[in-house]
Amino acid sequence: MQNSIARRVLGVLLAPLALAPFNHDQATPAADLVITHAKVWTADKAHPRAEAVAVLGDRIVAVGSNREIETWRGPHTRVVDAEGKLLLPGFNDAHVHFLNGGIELDSVQLTDATSQEEFARRIGERAQKTPRGEWILGGDWDETKWNPQEIPTKDVIDSLTPHTPVFVSRYDGHMVLANSLALRLAGITAQTPDPPGGVIVRDAQGNPTGALKDAAMDLAAKAIPPLSHDERRRAIERAMRHALSLGVTSVQNMDPDYADIAVYSELLERGELKVRIYAAPLITDVDDQVKIGIGHAFGGPFLRMGAVKAFADGSLGSRTAYFYGPYLDQPSARGLLSDEMHPISLMRERMMKADAAGLQICTHAIGDEAIATILDLYSEIAQAHGAADRRFRIEHAQHMAAKDFDRFAQLHVIASVQPYHAIDDGRFAEARIGHDRASRTYAFRTFLDHGVRLALGTDWDVAPLDPAETIYAAVTRATLDGKNPNGWFPEQKLTVEEAVEAYTMGSAYAEFQENEKGSIAPGKLADMVLLSQDIFRIPPESIRHTKVLKTFVGGKLVWESGAENR
């Protein structure tokens, strides 16, 4: 007993100082956790495969054969027999909207409504259960699943929601439908002008239809009462449980509210933050982080900041992604630069400020001209401030101009991509932008061929948080409508190995944490996930049915299938 405590204390003291010299001789301290009989895929190029892992404190201390790891076993070591299942590094989702995801888990579900009638019926049912005066939010509707594919108007929900303000989002987050009550509370009338970077959709008489695009959404959003601290905490706790149940051990939280960071900080203080967070608040508030004086990846293993999130344009689905050429199905439009880009000098000034402070810049850019414009700005920054390890990111990087792959690589820009969007947008992208532009849509293979680093994520709550769906999407490119079973632009498919690598090491690199996590290797944080099937061996179309058996964060078992709560 005494001896074991002494060994444990010694191990904890030594762990951060001297991991390298540890090996399986008699001086080896007992591990806190040993996972044996696993098929370990490490994402560590030096030792890609193993059978067992030893963990001391929150770190991996040894990776090897069952026999090698056996020597780490002491009387108090917790032993997990993986029964031959696949053990991977924990997934690191490089682009989530964590609070929205948590709210979405508890809000009206509209994504799979197959008609406008169904959409309206679900909102009506929700209104019945909603206390008077409370808003109906979220929803993530998708009119492309309806026939006809029409953007809904407030007329279809007004009679069902006379006392309930409704502000339901399109699934891409670039459009909402507000009912009459919500418009009235927000003061939006026929006389309200379109804001820069936004559109109030109107009928033939000029009256708002309730559909609001991009910056116009903010006009109505201002009328929504703020979440209470408790509501926010509950949503984030829901999001964490969901993430861990899917093997997502780290998330990179795009444009969080500061109040979200306050919740993370409170959870961290109580030891209840179980998912590792890298938070990138909006670049519009860049002065705050500059004032504090923090740089990229400031913080500790569970909570870091030091990045800013910028918006260059909208989305393909809302026809607000900004292109050089027009939309084929709406020739008068070629998208919208975001309000942050009016004028572009405003964005330049904010980015220069962020970079001078050592903050990392992550910019949402989807259309080819939006991406090109951001690459121009990145290049100006690099020239003005000199060489540095800045890890510029473009979020989505969806529709590339052929000319831009080379400079994307030369500027060392990370492509932070969401494969699920590819199989989703692939249903309608060609009708909107034609074959040539579509051939460079989510061009994962072309990025890799040019030496561009990929970081994988989902954009949850815009797409499902499930890594099994993301990997399935990256390796099959089979569109959700079933029309491209062999892959939509199949030459852009990733292998399973490439997808997992980009989802672990790639995402870790994208947040400056490749030495801390992203692989199963001695010295790294012990974040691991045990899967129900070997995704490297099964037919690619079966990958999406993979379940998580166990999730470990910092060596602690934080989720287990079959065990309801942990």
- Contacts with Zn ion by CB under 5 A lie at 459
Cis upstream peptide for 21 (omega within 30°): no
- The encoded tokens of residue 439 equal 């051939």
Minimum distance from residue 460 beta carbon to Zn ion (Å): 9
Locate all alpha helices (DSSP H) within 28-115, ordered by sequence.
66-70, 98-104
**Are 416 and 453 in contact, with CB atoms under 8 Å apart?**
no
Task: Closer to Zn ion by CB, 58 or 459: give it.
Answer: 459
The CA–CA distances, whole Å, from 47 to 42, 51, 449, 553 equal: 7, 11, 24, 21
Task: Closer to Zn ion by CB, 44 or 459: give it.
Answer: 459
What order of strands is seen across the sheet that includes strand 86-89? Answer: 49-50, 39-41, 86-89, 528-531, 548-553, 556-560
- 133 Ramachandran zone, left/alpha/beta (phi>0; psi -120 to 50): left
- The encoded tokens of residue 402 equal 């052929």
Minimum distance from residue 462 beta carbon to Zn ion (Å): 6
The alpha carbon of 422 is separated from its chain's Cα centroid by a whole number of angstroms, namely 14
Minimum distance from residue 79 beta carbon to Zn ion (Å): 41
Residue 51 DSSP one-character state:
S
Task: Closer to Zn ion by CB, 467 or 540: give it.
Answer: 467
**Are 207 and 190 in contact, with CB atoms under 8 Å apart?**
yes
Residues 6+ positions from 229 with CB-CB distance below 8 Å: 259, 262, 263
Task: Closer to Zn ion by CB, 369 or 459: give it.
Answer: 459
Minimum distance from residue 310 beta carbon to Zn ion (Å): 12
Q: Quick one: the chain helix, strand, coil %, rounded to 5? A: 35, 20, 45
Task: Closer to Zn ion by CB, 459 or 527: give it.
Answer: 459
Minimum distance from residue 235 beta carbon to Zn ion (Å): 17
Task: Closer to Zn ion by CB, 260 or 459: give it.
Answer: 459
Minimum distance from residue 96 beta carbon to Zn ion (Å): 8
- The encoded tokens of residue 203 equal 């009928």
Minimum distance from residue 552 beta carbon to Zn ion (Å): 28
Minimum distance from residue 31 beta carbon to Zn ion (Å): 39
Q: Pairing relation of β-strands 49-50 and 39-41?
A: antiparallel
Nearest to 139 by CA among 107, 162, 112: 107
- The encoded tokens of residue 81 equal 């027999």
Q: State residue 528 phi and psi, 5-degree precision.
A: -145, 160
DSSP 371-438: HHHHHHHHHHHHHHH-S-----EEEE--B--GGGHHHHHHTT-EEEE-HHHHHHHTTTHHHHHHHHHH
Largest CA distance in the chain: 84
Task: Closer to Zn ion by CB, 40 or 362: give it.
Answer: 362
Minimum distance from residue 221 beta carbon to Zn ion (Å): 16
Q: Nearest residue by C-beta to Zn ion?
A: 459
d(Cα 154, Cα 235) in Å, to the nearest integer?
28
Minimum distance from residue 162 beta carbon to Zn ion (Å): 33
Nearest to 415 by CA among 382, 463, 448: 448
Nearest to 363 by CA among 324, 411, 406, 403: 411
**Are 323 and 199 in contact, with CB atoms under 8 Å apart?**
no
Task: Closer to Zn ion by CB, 32 or 313: give it.
Answer: 313
Task: Closer to Zn ion by CB, 142 or 459: give it.
Answer: 459
* Residue labelled with tokens 């239809």: 209
Minimum distance from residue 97 beta carbon to Zn ion (Å): 6
Task: Closer to Zn ion by CB, 161 or 315: give it.
Answer: 315
Task: Closer to Zn ion by CB, 391 or 421: give it.
Answer: 421
Task: Closer to Zn ion by CB, 154 or 396: give it.
Answer: 396
Minimum distance from residue 394 beta carbon to Zn ion (Å): 12
Minimum distance from residue 344 beta carbon to Zn ion (Å): 21
Task: Closer to Zn ion by CB, 245 or 253: give it.
Answer: 253
